[in-house]
Structure 1
Amino acid sequence: MSAPSTILVTGGAGFIGSHTCVDLLDHGYEVIVVDNWSAGVRQVLARVERLAGRFVGAVYELDIRDRRALSGVFARHAVDAVMHFAALTSAQASLRMPVEYYDANVGGTTALLNAMHEHGVHQLVFSSTGSLYAAAATGPLAETDPARPEDPYAASKWACEQLLADICRHRPEYTVLCLRHFTPAGAHPSGLLGEDRPGPQDTLLPSLAQVAVGRRRRLRVYGGDYPTPDGTGIRDYVHILDTVEAHRLALDHLADAPGMHVYNLGRGQGVSVLEVVAAFSRACGRLVPYEIAPRRLGDTAERVADVRAIGQDWGWRPRRDLDDMCRDTWGFQRLHPLGYRNSAPNGPPVED
C-alpha cells in the first residue's frame, strides 16, 4: 500500500488543524479542509497558504454531522486518508455541556466513519487526548495504563477510541492511528498562526499571553496545594510544531499494519504552572502577575506522557522545549493582541 497523498483534514482551521495543514502542504500533500468555524476563523486558511506557498485544494464550510454534505466532499475528491481534529475540546466547558460534547465528538466521528465507508476510505489519523487516563499519583502515563476520564470532553474522546477500535476489530480493511496528545502549546514561529479559541480562555499559555498583553489583569492559578514541589499542577507541554510533525509522520505508518494503534504525544517531561509562569515571564520580558485560586473540578495534580512507544516505533522525538513554546506564544499574541478576529493594538481588559 502506497503512502496517502490527498488528505482530508476535519477541523482544519483550528489550532492543531491549521498548523497541520501548513506541515502537510510543506511536504507535498494535497489538502482538503472541512470546518464549521466554531473554533477556527476563515482568514486562518489564507495564512496557511501564505506560510506554505501553496493553495489548499478545497475548503468546505460544514459540520461533519451533516452526513449528506460530508459525503458530497468525499464524492468530489479522491481522498486517501483522513486526519480528524474536528471536536469540542474544552474540559471545563464540557462540564457545563456534556450532551453537546458527546453529540459533537462522538456523533461527528460516527458521521465521518459512515462517509469514509461509503466512499472506500479506510485510513484515519485520530487526534485524541491524554486527559482520558486515570489520574496518576506519580510517573509518566503509558498507553497501557487504564482510561478513567473525569470530564465529558475526555470521556467523549475515549468513547470515540472505543468506537474506532471496534470498527477495526470487525472490518480488517481499516487502519486507525490514534494520537493521544497531552498539552499542545506554542505557535508558528512566524507569529501568523497560534491558539485563539472563541470565548473565555482556559488553557495556560494563551491565558498568560492575554495577561502579558493587557487583556487580563492577572492569571488565575487553579490550585496551590497539590502534592507537587511548588503546590501547582504539573502537565506535559509539547510544542504545536512537534505535535503536527507526529501527525504527519503517522501518514507514513498507516501501511505498517491494519487495525487500531495508540500512541502518546508529549515531551515526557512535566512542568508546573509556576514554572510555566516563570518561563513566560522571561519570554515577554516582564513578570506576569498571578493569584492562587481554588482547584477546578476535574483537574489533577500531575499528567505526564510516557512517549517511549512512539520513539521506538517511529523514531519521533520532540525537538522544542518550554522556552520555545513561550517565545512563540508571545510572538503570536504580540501580533494579535485581541486574537485573529480583531487585532487592534488596544482594547478593554477582559475580566478573568
Structure 2
Amino acid sequence: MAALKFKPILSGAAVGALVAVLAGCATPPPPPAPPAPLPPAPAPADLTLSPAIIQSAAAYQAFIARSTAIKPDFANGDDVEHRLQTGESFDPAIMTRGEIAFAAVVALQEPTFVAEIRNYSMNESARAELARTIAADPNYATGFRGANAAAGLIIAAMTTQGQGLQDEGEAVRLSAYGVQRQEWSKVFVPDLAGRLSLAKTTSANVPTASTEDAERERQAAIGYAPLLLPVHAPAASPPYPPAVVRGLAIAALALLGHAGEADAAITEPMFADPPDQTCLNMAKLNLYQCLAVAKPYYEDIFCLGQHAMKDTGQCLRMAAGAPPPAVEFIPPTQSAKTPVKPVKKRRKKGD
C-alpha cells in the first residue's frame, strides 16, 4: 500500500502574517504633491508725496513758527525792522499753497482715513481709476470713512495757528502805544521809500524750509513721526472749506500712489485759485499802505502787529472755516492815540 502524502495547509492567521511580511517589503507609494502656493496677497500702493509738496508744507509751518515767535519787547529801531522783515516775508499765493500742502500732511495723521484709502489701493487699475475721479472732483475724497475726523484735525490745526498769530499780532499792535515812552521809538525810520521797497521784495521771495524741517514733514507724511497736533480735535461735518477739501484730496492721492513728482498734472490743479488767497492779498495790501505812511518806529510796530500778523492770522482762521474777517486798512496814525478803555457805569443802589 502506497504511503499517503499531505499538502501543508496554512491557517488564515498565517496567511495574514505572510501577507503583512510581504507588504512590508514593498516600496511605499510616493507622498502626494504639495498644494500649489497661494498667490501673494494684494499690497496697498506705496505712499507718494512729491518733495515740492512736502517743501511747501514745511515752509508754511516754518513761517507760522517764526511769525508767532515775534514778541512785543522791542529794544531799538533795528529790532523793529528785523522783526518787521520776519512778519512780512510771505507771498499770498505761496502761503495758500502751503496751507493746502500742510492740510494734506495733517490728513495723513488720521488712521481711519488712511486705512480706508489703503483698502481701495490694493488693485492697480482700481486705484488709478479712483485717482482720476478724485482729480476731477476733489470733494469725492470727503466721502471716505474717517474723512470727517481728518477734516477735524485740519480745521483744529489751522485754527490754532491762525489764532496764535492773531493773538501775538494784537499784543504787538498794543505795544506800539506803550513803547512811545522810549525816545528811540519816536525817531523817523531812515529811508522810508527803501523800507517799503524792501517789504515788497521780501514778500516776493519764495520761503523755503530747512532740510531738517522738510525731513520732519516727510516723516510725518509717511507715518514715521507724528505732527504735533491738537489732541482733542472733534470730527467735522461737511461742507468743508476749500483748503480742507483739497488737503483731503491730495492726502488720498498720496495714499493711492498718485501724488509723486510724476503726478504734477493731477496734483497741481489742487493748488490753483484758492478762494482764501483774496483775504491774504488784502492783508498784504493793507501792510503796504500802512508802511507807505508810517514814519516813526512805533508806527512800524503798529503796521507789523495789525496787518502783517493780526490780519494774516484772521485769514488763516477763515481758511479753516471761521467767518470771513473784516480785513481793512487801519492807518498807523491810530497808534499815536492811547487806547481808551470803556468806563464801567456805576450801578445805582437798588439795581
What TM-score comes out, normalization by structure 1 length? 0.22
Please tell me whether Structure 1 or Structure 2 has the larger radius of gyration of its CA atoms.
2
Per chain length, whose mean CA-contact separation is higher, i.e. which structure has more relative contact order (CA < 8 Å, sep 6+)?
2
Q: Point out the structure with the larger helix share.
A: 2
What TM-score comes out, normalization by structure 2 length? 0.22
